[in-house]
Amino acid sequence: MGVLDLSAYGLTEEQRELAAMVRAFADEEVAPRAYEADRTKTLPLEVVRGMGELGLFGLPFPEEVGGQGGDYVALGLAIEALGRVDQSIAITLEAGVSLGAMPVFRFGTDAQRDELLPDLLAGRALAGFGLTEPEAGSDAGGTRTTARLEEGEWVIDGAKQFITNSGTDITRFVTVTAVTGRRGDRKEISTIIVPNGTPGFTVGPAYDKVGWHASDTHPLSFDQARVPEANLLGERGRGFANFLSILDEGRVAIAALATGAAEGCLEAALGYAQTRQVFGDRLGSRQSIQFMIARMQARVHTARLAWLHAARLRDAGRAFGAEAAIAKLTASDAAMDNARDATQIFGGNGFMNEYPVARHFRDSKILEIGEGTTEVQLLVLARGLGLMGSAA
What is the per-residue DSSP string for 83-106? HTT-HHHHHHHHHIIIIIIHHHHH
Report which secondary-structure segment, H or E, holds 14: helix 13-25
Pairing relationship of beta strands 146-150 and 232-233 according to DSSP bridges: unpaired
Radius of gyration for the chain, computed over Cα atoms and rounded to the nearest angstrom: 21
What is the C-alpha to C-alpha distance for residues 23 and 15, in angstroms, rounded to an integer? 12
Of 94, 133, 368, 371, catalytic: 371
C-beta neighbour count of 1 within 10 angstroms: 11
80, 257 Cβ separation under 8 angstroms: yes
Instruction: Count other C-beta atoms under 10 Å from residue 73's C-beta.
Output: 26
The C-alpha angle 237, 323, 363, rounded to 5 degrees, equals: 85
371 annotated active-site:
yes
Using CA atoms, how far apart are residues 302 and 360, in angstroms rounded to an integer? 19
End-to-end CA distance of the chain: 43
Q: For residue 135, which phi and psi values (nearest 5 degrees)?
A: -120, 10
Alpha-helical (H) ranges within 108-228 are 110-121
Bridge partner list, 164: 217
User: Which SS3 state, helix, strand or coil, does residue 39 take?
Assistant: helix
Task: Tell me if 76 sits within 8 A of 308, measured CB to CB.
Answer: yes
- Interacting residues of 151 by C-beta distance below 8 A, sequence separation 6+: none
Q: How far is CA 376 from CA 90, 137, 371, 372, in A?
A: 23, 12, 9, 6
3-state DSSP assignment of residue 280: coil
Q: Considering Cα of 314, then 118, then 63, then 85, what sign does the dihedral take?
A: negative
Which residues carry out catalysis? 371
